[in-house]
Structure 1
Amino acid sequence: MTTPAAGAGAGAQSPFRQPKAVWAVAFACVISFMGIGLVDPILPAISEDLHASPSQVTLLFTSYLVVMAVAMLVTGFVSSRIGAKRTLVAGLILIVVFSALAGTSGSISGIIGFRAGWGLGNALFVATSLAVIVASASGGFGGAIIAYEAALGLGIAVGPLLGGLLGDISWRGPFYGVAVLMTIALIATLTLVRPQPAPARRTSLADPLKALRHRGLLIMSLTALCYNWGFFTVLGYAPFPMHLSALRLGLVFTGWGLLVAVFSVFGAPWLQRRFGLARTLYGNLALFAVDVLVIAVFVDSRATLIAAVIVAGVFIGVNNTLTTQAVMMVAPVERPVASAAYGFVRFIGGGLAPYAAGRLAEHTNLHVPFAVGAGAIVLGIAILTAGHRDLAGAERRQAALDAGAARGDRDAGITEAAETGSGSGS
């Protein structure tokens, strides 16, 4: 049974006292995750200017996330051969190139294609960045994850604001803005991040798929697929029924993103210490399902829709941090392999949801896509209950790692964690 005290070690050291390499990668993560919310404020403008239907415009999410999901399967193969730093750099270069090209495009199909290239770069960067931060961070495993999620949350918060400000001038502006900022992140990564030690063995292309044979990792990944279906239904389709300008949409999703950031960094650790990992995840997913259901019922009320979208940031922030921690602990494989397998499954859900929402709205009404999103989250809760034992084991291993880091003896913490969780997840 999961106990509230199990995660107490996570707060032993400040997650903000980190080496320069961690901050360099974290800054790049901020810009990278801007790409998720960046296009939200400009979706209606792109739809109007390029004469595209909402479902066509949501393909900007689908091409980006589905390509990112599939590319996750090759990230370990690439990084184990050319090294983590070179993989980060390759990903950043692709993001710079394809975000700039998206800004130059004159057709919806062109932007969709360039977003796919952007997704490839993001896959190389995101899967590797988490592994680099965990390897380089001080303050224990929990501190590393919180630093990563802080970057994710800040990027998600700033992305819509940048998209709204630049998108109010032209829908092309946000794409050029990301290209410039990612160039700065590329320079910081080249300058401050040292090459990581070569892995003990090279990862094969089949390793991430083989990793999904492990029960705990598969359960967490399928839960995340369902959760991301609800998440990206809100993120990808909610801007259309709001009927707001790009700047006002940017402000709405900035409020949402700020709550993601705050609850990723501060809310999730506190809730885990107070209630334990499993109970926090169950309760958080249930409240998120209720929130999306409110959107489904009251989608015609602009005030209710805006409030529910902003409040969703609370549940998304908590879930992002705790699920990432659980995945890294529950999988009895190397962390880059676990991250790639998990990313593949969850981003498939995130990529398909916005386009499905658009098609459902076109063939039924605005209420149905969000009702389906709420149902997907409830299905995720049902799947998660099958992994309750794995969650308990993950929490024990995390506590052991953080206890070792608090003593200044990382190796002891790792050994302790391995002994605590031996055999779990098979």
Structure 2
Amino acid sequence: MTTTRTTETPTSTGSGGFFDQPRAVWAVAFACVISFMGIGLVDPILKSIADQLDATPSQVSLLFTSYMAVMGVAMLVTGVVSSRIGAKKTLLSGLALIIVFSALAGLSDSISAIVAFRAGWGLGNALFIATALSTIVTAARGSTAQAIILFEAALGLGIATGPLLGGALGSISWRAPFLGVATLMTIALVATTFLLPATPPAGRRTSLADPFRALKHPGLLTIALTALFYNMGFFTLLAFTPFPLDMNAHQVGLIFFGWGLLLAITSVWVAPILQRAIGSVPTVLVALSLFALDLAAMAIWTEDKTVLVVGVIVAGAFLGINNTVITEAVMGAAPVERPVASAAYSFVRFSGGAVAPYAAGKLGENVSVHAPFWMGAAAVAVAIVVLALGSRFLREQEPPPAHSEREAEAELIGDLT
């Protein structure tokens, strides 16, 4: 996994800086912010939902499990859909599904119904997110690395504001955050409709088998497995921590806002600096090692709320660094189209996000309040081993020759810039 592309890739346009992007890019980035709010939105209201609907922590954790499981599986079809109906229609379809299912979740009266509607929300998010990443990468002015930083900034801002919004609206009612997302996504849908030019299908039609074929490339498989285990730690932190914190929705929202804010800052500014200084693989290994130690500290001092609060916020720094570097690595880890690589990678990594919340809830109920954090720390340790052993497959990876910045831009979105 070389750092040459990060620091030396020329811009695709001769003028303008990082923030000088087409309006269409900003429209998709705004929709990304709202979409990623859905990940952390339910954190502040998990305990409220459990209390008001008489649900256990493991039952409430299924809000993450159904969302991530369906999203992971649906990632396999995103390329198939996009290559047949075009990027814009795929984005709009995803946004529409998120609007419908988030609203239905907010109007539900049982935990099983909310879990089911979160699954539908995950389907919409899959169609939107995978296509949004490839759209921003190919449409944005500047290098691939800059475009990915823009995407990660949207991710971080969405994850940061999600808990804040969830906490503010959750203090009114646990239903309010779901209905709030439906409203914001409607705004994103309108913006995308009018600002993103028509994107007819272009290039080769992909098949359901393409992501599985892509995983035969050891570089992509290494990154995907690393992300699978790392996401187990990530979603253990996200789904279980609100229970031992035992605070109100507004307080939990503020804590996870700090976490998401630090994630956004490190993903945009710190990750590129570390990548240039020590290289991509060492950067990820350091970030994962610190994250594993952070989870271990939370496992030891789970009863100390100060440790939990600091542990959650500090984790944002490690996750932000890791997310940016790994996402960039996916784009050049196998000689396949970017959407196919993204679908294969996301399918594997979201499996970790689906398993961890429910497993953490069960461990917390049946073993001890410390056990979920130990599980998360162990899973991140496995991710470190996987990356260390597979790093040799990443050092010489190059971006697909048929998908340079210019060619991909012309293929997928024509006159966006």
Match of 1:168 in 2: 171
Are residue 333 (structure 1) and residue 332 (structure 2) matched? no
Match of 2:7 in 1: 8
Report the CA distance between 1:140 and its aligned residue: 1.0
- TM-align CA RMSD: 2.1
Output the CA distance in 2 between the equivalents of 1:11 and 1:198: 27
1:291-306 alignment runs, 5 A limit: 291-306=294-309
Output the CA distance in 1 between the equivalents of 2:388 and 2:36: 30
Which of 238, 250, 272 aligns to 2:275? It is 272
Which of 39, 46, 62 aligns to 1:36? It is 39
**CA 43–122 in structure 1, closer or farther in 2 if over 3 Å, else same:** same
1:82-97 alignment runs, 5 A limit: 82-97=85-100
Deviations 1:312-361 (A, max 9, x none): 00011011110000011112111101111111000110111010000011
Match of 1:241 in 2: 244
Report the CA distance between 1:390 and its aligned residue: 3.1
Verify the 8 A CA contact 1:27 1:185 in the aligned structure 2.
Answer: yes
**CA 57–271 in structure 1, closer or farther in 2 if over 3 Å, else same:** same
Are residue 358 (structure 1) and residue 361 (structure 2) matched? yes
**CA 321–24 in structure 1, closer or farther in 2 if over 3 Å, else same:** same
User: What letter is aligned with 1:380?
Assistant: A
User: What letter is aligned with 1:231?
Assistant: F
Verify the 8 A CA contact 1:227 1:376 in the aligned structure 2.
Answer: yes
Verify the 8 A CA contact 1:11 1:269 in the aligned structure 2.
Answer: no
The 4+ residue runs of structure 1 with deviation greater than 4 A are 2-6, 10-13
Q: Tell me which moved more, 305-314 or 195-204.
A: 195-204
1:410-421 alignment runs, 5 A limit: 410=406
- Any gaps of 5 or more consecutive residues in structure 2? 411-417
User: What letter is aligned with 1:377?
Assistant: V
Output the CA distance in 2 between the equivalents of 1:11 and 1:50: 54
Deviations 1:242-298 (A, max 9, x none): 010000000000000000100111111111111111111111111111111111111
Output the CA distance in 2 between the equivalents of 1:175 and 1:190: 22
User: What letter is aligned with 1:290?
Assistant: L
Verify the 8 A CA contact 1:277 1:391 in the aligned structure 2.
Answer: no
Output the CA distance in 2 between the equivalents of 1:3 and 1:362: 44
Match of 1:378 in 2: 381
Report the CA distance between 1:6 and its aligned residue: 6.4
Match of 2:121 in 1: 118
Report the CA distance between 1:302 and its aligned residue: 0.3
TM-score w.r.t. length of structure 1: 0.91
User: What letter is aligned with 1:157?
Assistant: A
**CA 216–290 in structure 1, closer or farther in 2 if over 3 Å, else same:** same
- Any gaps of 5 or more consecutive residues in structure 1? 415-426
Aligned length: 405
Which of 226, 231, 234 aligns to 2:229? It is 226
Deviations 1:122-161 (A, max 9, x none): 0000111011111110011011101100100000000000
Report the CA distance between 1:4 and its aligned residue: 6.6
User: What letter is aligned with 2:316?
Assistant: G
Identity in percent = 59
Report the CA distance between 1:199 and its aligned residue: 2.8
SS in 2 for 1:392: coil
User: What letter is aligned with 2:304?
Assistant: S
1:119-138 alignment runs, 5 A limit: 119-138=122-141
SS in 2 for 1:263: helix
1:48-67 alignment runs, 5 A limit: 48-67=51-70
User: What letter is aligned with 1:306?
Assistant: V
Which of 201, 214, 221 aligns to 1:198? It is 201
Match of 1:22 in 2: 25
Match of 2:348 in 1: 345
Verify the 8 A CA contact 1:360 1:369 in the aligned structure 2.
Answer: yes
Match of 1:318 in 2: 321
1:199-214 alignment runs, 5 A limit: 199-214=202-217
Deviations 1:375-418 (A, max 9, x none): 11110111112322333224x659x99xx97xxxx469x9xxxx
Verify the 8 A CA contact 1:47 1:54 in the aligned structure 2.
Answer: yes
User: What letter is aligned with 1:200?
Assistant: G
Output the CA distance in 2 between the equivalents of 1:15 and 1:238: 36
SS in 2 for 1:105: coil
Deviations 1:220-262 (A, max 9, x none): 0000000000000000100100010000000000000000100
Output the CA distance in 2 between the equivalents of 1:8 and 1:136: 19
